Structure 1
Amino acid sequence: MQDGHPIAYESRKLNETERRYTVQEKEMTAIIHCLRVWRHYLLGARFIVKTDNIATSYFQSQKKLSPKQARWQDFLAEFDYVLEYRPGKANVVADALSRKSELASISTVLGDLPTRIKEGLGHDPVAKELVKLAEQGKTRQFWLEDGLLYTQGRRLYVPKWEDLRKDLIRECHDTKWAGHPGQKRTRALLESSYFWPQMRDQVELYVKTCLVCQQDKVENKQPAGLLEPLPTSEHPWDSITLDFISSLPKSDGFGSIMVVIDRFSKYGTFIPCPKDCTAEEAARLFFKNVVKYWGLPKHIISDRDPRFTGRLWTELFKLLGSELHFSTSFHPQTDGQTERVNSLLECYLRHFVSANQRDWARLLDVAQFSYNLQRSEATGKSPFEIVMGQQPITPHTFHHDFGKGPSPAATQMVQSWGEHLDMARSQLAKAQKRMKKWADAKRRQREYSIGDKVLIKLLPQQFKAFRGVHKGLIRKYEGPFQIIARVGKVSYRLDLPTTLKIHPTFHVSMLKPYHPDDHDESRGYSHRAPPVVTTSFDKEVEEVLSKRVVRRRGVQPSTQYLIKWKGLPETEASWETQEDLWQFPELLHQFEATRASAK
């Protein structure tokens, strides 16, 4: 603009990338485009760029710039300009130009609105009466200008004639520039320029009956339908709810979690499952983790997962006498209790899971303990208290002396609790004595002294080396090993070789006395592989060539020897670990002696 008059217009469409720009970037894109088009007019002259975006007005002093904004500032450096903020209310010229399509649509729909209103004033009885009063000067609320009736706020009176009022409501609600607003906003658009009696009722009725609004808008109201609770269980584990948490990252071979909740005690059981857990596998895990401990439930409530609605699951529990109840379609609130526990479990795992989320399976046990430890708002007690009768011992538990407080009633209540605890402890002590009496009837006493040699019973599943061999062909005991200390009343610490990487303290039930041959000590030496070693060579060693120690992070150093095998060239020599060369102790001893003498 120059001297208040426009001298040029410019516009273009935004491309696909520019449509994703922020508002400030879109404003700057428009400025950059216009300056490139009008560069020959603006170079060497000082000019003002007016914008209704306040962030754009600070672009010249912006400190942190993106690469794109830096390029813009580099282009703008050759111009002498000032960015000036102008509020949107004062920027009516630009706003009108940017909305010319909407103005065109208004004129297309309503045609010549003043002419239609003038014509309608002669057909509306109420309008006729108001015009008459205005002409006689008997009312101050209405007046006539150019044959049109105005009221307070200089609003046009719209007569009740044909569909004039309805067309105006449609224009302020259905069009793109209006955007199907609600009742209040539609009425606000109309009331800014027009007036007629009962406008509010007509607008509410129009918006309420708009099909587009009914199809596209949600109701911001309370959910329909009163709550119909499920029947209350009478005993723990009579009725349970069941659900899956799926699509988890693989952790220790698992990819989902089966969540089982007792509806009476709120006791939760969290079972890790394979990613694609079949109905057969789900049933097996259910029996292993729930039925084995709590028995068969009378009622099982779940969603309509295909695993629960399939023939195997339904027929299995039908034969066992359990009733299956499924939630209605698209209504997970039926099994809302489990859904809530799912949320709590996910929140717990979110607290402690690692960055790669692949250790959640190892957290399930402690997560189950933590959940069952918390007091339920529904029962007023924790699931442990209802199912087990008491809270388990936790790391924060400590002994409390019950003193006298200022309130006798409170002191009496605390002492009562203490008496209940003493009674429970007494009953537990008696139970321990009974169990000890019953167990000792089938046991025998066994004690060892420091220095005695014993054999130990090793479990094959404790060692990775035994994974590739048949468990039935593994030795049941290993040793002999010497006792070096007594730990408590029934445990002993042994002197184990370094190759046996297990804890050296064993319960007396895992030990067996070793009986040596005092007349022939050689019988005490084994010619078989040492404990946990499953490697043996059918070749003979010709020479030990070299030695090295291999060190790796997180693993204990390993001693290796370069072995030249008899009958094979030196190029076929191989590095073998000291443990695997258990068949050739004399050759290793000779190599170490020769190496020591050479030094």
Structure 2
Amino acid sequence: MNYQKIIKQDKIKATKCVSVKVDSFSNLIDSIQKSLWQDYQYIIILQDLGKGESVQDYSLDSSSQLLLFKDWVVVPNDPTIQLTTLQKWHDSPLAEHPGQDNTFKLVKRDFQWSGMTQFIKDYVSSCQKCSRNKNIHQKKFGLLKPLPIPNGLWICLSMDFITQSPLSNSFDSILVIVDRFPKIAVFIPKISSITTLDLAHEFINNIFSKHGLPSSSVSDGGSLFVSLFWTNLWQKLKISRDLSTAYHPETNKTTERVNQILEQYLWMYSVHITQDTPSGKVSTKIQSVQKDVRRELEVSINRFKRYADKSRASPPAFNHSDMVWFSSKNIKSTRPTKKLSERWWGPFPILKKVSTHAYHLKLQSPWTPSTQSSIFHS
């Protein structure tokens, strides 16, 4: 049987280039041929054509006896055969897993079945190899959600470490604490082996003794900030704690930005201490300045959010137990080159919705991180 005749002659060369040889479809063609006689939608049409009667837009291929709709081979309403047909043009090593539009064009060259467009769309969108290895060509998910503006000085703090710095006076790290209202920063030289007890002492000596207790703090998921001692200390002091999600520095953007321009920031800020007792006029002026600062912060944040959201889309709504993928962009690859690594890992189930933008995932082997590093921003 010459199966090459069922493929349109002007498409044979292109079909070979992007999929596989025509002769390799013999098993698929045989399956289509047998299944058509079990599909009630086409049995009457096949019988009429077999009697020599004319059926609009339908015909029988003289060589293979396959049913043709115009110039396309009719695939029966059998999901297994439809799936096999689709996989020939999508999963084949030579096809290179094309997208929805290109897969549809390849299949549509020679085949047709009811609901083919949606069938191809559903299959390609759920293809795990495509999900693992392809970039997302659309706006970044998640509209900007700035942290609320504090109501006064030293009420809300953000904390972070600058590590792996050149050794200076036996110090190789810097503890950065920023008041999120006026953006005043405190830089404390430390060593990388600092303990949670040392961190607590630095907080008491440099923040609490001078400015009192804050009401909240923002930090990353570093081991010091999520340790049992630090967590219990914050609970005893009734300080609410917000942790930035993994690989999402925008959550603690204030401190991250300060870290980037540390030298410039140190140069620009200096503390002028006076021994004079401030008068009532000074106190009133400070309150007025704070109102001005708050107003300008609101304007700045709204402007930043407006521009940032132009390149972002609303995040998809995920629920408990949904299976999701997370980006491998910030994960160190074990492959010789990052370019050959999978772009997305998963799918993993959602254990808990932490916030409107963050989710706790149940990571499986070989991913066994801590609880905090299992929380990802959408």
The normalised TM-score by structure 1 is: 0.36
**What secondary structure, in the 3-state scheme, does the structure 1 residue paired with 2:161 have?**
strand
Give the Cα–Cα distance (whole angstroms) in 1 for the partners of residues 28 and 250 of structure 2. Answer: 57
Q: How does 1:3-402 map to 2 (within 5 A)?
A: 102-103=20-21, 107=24, 110-130=25-45, 132=48, 136-137=53-54, 139-140=56-57, 144-146=61-63, 147-152=65-70, 154-160=71-77, 163-213=80-130, 233-251=150-168, 253-291=170-208, 293-310=210-227, 313-314=230-231, 321=237, 323-327=239-243, 330-331=245-246, 336-343=250-257, 345-346=259-260, 348=261, 363=264, 365-366=266-267, 378-380=297-299
Give the Cα–Cα distance (whole angstroms) in 1 for the partners of residues 264 and 195 of structure 2. Answer: 23
Q: CA separation of 1:99/1:202 partners in 2, compared to 1, >3 Å: closer, same or farther?
A: closer
Gapped regions of structure 2 (runs ≥ 5): 1-9, 271-292, 302-378
Give the Cα–Cα distance (whole angstroms) in 2 for the partners of residues 278 and 338 of structure 1. Answer: 22
Deviation of the 1:240 alpha carbon? 1.1
Q: CA separation of 1:172/1:288 partners in 2, compared to 1, >3 Å: closer, same or farther?
A: same
Deviation of the 1:200 alpha carbon? 0.9
Give the Cα–Cα distance (whole angstroms) in 2 for the partners of residues 215 and 262 of structure 1. Answer: 41
Give the Cα–Cα distance (whole angstroms) in 2 for the partners of residues 289 and 250 of structure 1. Answer: 22
Deviation of the 1:155 alpha carbon? 3.0
**What secondary structure, in the 3-state scheme, does the structure 2 residue paired with 1:307 have?**
coil
Deviations 1:398-420 (A, max 9, x none): xxxxxxxxxxxxxxxxxxxxxxx
Deviations 1:231-255 (A, max 9, x none): 6533221121212232334456443
Q: CA separation of 1:343/1:176 partners in 2, compared to 1, >3 Å: closer, same or farther?
A: farther
Q: CA separation of 1:364/1:191 partners in 2, compared to 1, >3 Å: closer, same or farther?
A: same
Higher relative contact order (CA 8 A, sep 6+): 2
Give the Cα–Cα distance (whole angstroms) in 1 for the partners of residues 255 and 68 of structure 2. Answer: 64
Q: How does 1:384-533 map to 2 (within 5 A)?
A: none
**What secondary structure, in the 3-state scheme, does the structure 2 residue paired with 1:378 have?**
helix
Give the Cα–Cα distance (whole angstroms) in 1 for the partners of residues 30 and 142 of structure 2. Answer: 52
Q: Which amino acid aligns with 1:195?
A: Q
Deviations 1:451-489 (A, max 9, x none): xxxxxxxxxxxxxxxxxxxxxxxxxxxxxxxxxxxxxxx
Give the Cα–Cα distance (whole angstroms) in 2 for the partners of residues 312 and 160 of structure 1. Answer: 63
Q: CA separation of 1:332/1:323 partners in 2, compared to 1, >3 Å: closer, same or farther?
A: farther
Do the aligned partners of 1:141 and 1:151 also contact (CA within 8 Å) in 2? yes
Q: Which amino acid aligns with 2:67?
A: L
Give the Cα–Cα distance (whole angstroms) in 2 for the partners of residues 381 and 182 of structure 1. Answer: 41
Give the Cα–Cα distance (whole angstroms) in 1 for the partners of residues 120 and 172 of structure 2. Answer: 55
Q: Percent identity?
A: 24
Give the Cα–Cα distance (whole angstroms) in 1 for the partners of residues 193 and 129 of structure 2. Answer: 42
Give the Cα–Cα distance (whole angstroms) in 2 for the partners of residues 243 and 223 of structure 1. Answer: 26
Do the aligned partners of 1:156 and 1:193 also contact (CA within 8 Å) in 2? yes
Q: Which amino acid aligns with 1:244?
A: F
Give the Cα–Cα distance (whole angstroms) in 2 for the partners of residues 200 and 143 of structure 1. Answer: 24
Q: Which amino acid aligns with 1:275?
A: S
Do the aligned partners of 2:158 and 2:218 also contact (CA within 8 Å) in 1? yes
Give the Cα–Cα distance (whole angstroms) in 1 for the partners of residues 95 and 40 of structure 2. Answer: 31
Do the aligned partners of 2:177 and 2:186 also contact (CA within 8 Å) in 1? yes
Give the Cα–Cα distance (whole angstroms) in 1 for the partners of residues 181 and 79 of structure 2. Answer: 67
Do the aligned partners of 1:296 and 1:322 also contact (CA within 8 Å) in 2? no
Deviation of the 1:210 alpha carbon? 4.1
- RMSD, aligned CA: 4.6
**What secondary structure, in the 3-state scheme, does the structure 2 residue paired with 1:112 have?**
helix
Give the Cα–Cα distance (whole angstroms) in 2 for the partners of residues 118 and 337 of structure 1. Answer: 59
Deviation of the 1:365 alpha carbon? 1.0
User: What is aligned with 1:524?
Assistant: none
The normalised TM-score by structure 2 is: 0.53
Deviations 1:125-156 (A, max 9, x none): 4334555479545535756443233445x432
Q: CA separation of 1:283/1:367 partners in 2, compared to 1, >3 Å: closer, same or farther?
A: farther
Deviations 1:52-105 (A, max 9, x none): xxxxxxxxxxxxxxxxxxxxxxxxxxxxxxxxxxxxx99x69x96x999x549x
Q: CA separation of 1:238/1:332 partners in 2, compared to 1, >3 Å: closer, same or farther?
A: farther
Q: CA separation of 1:99/1:211 partners in 2, compared to 1, >3 Å: closer, same or farther?
A: closer
Give the Cα–Cα distance (whole angstroms) in 2 for the partners of residues 111 and 196 of structure 1. Answer: 19
Q: CA separation of 1:263/1:160 partners in 2, compared to 1, >3 Å: closer, same or farther?
A: same
Q: CA separation of 1:247/1:141 partners in 2, compared to 1, >3 Å: closer, same or farther?
A: farther
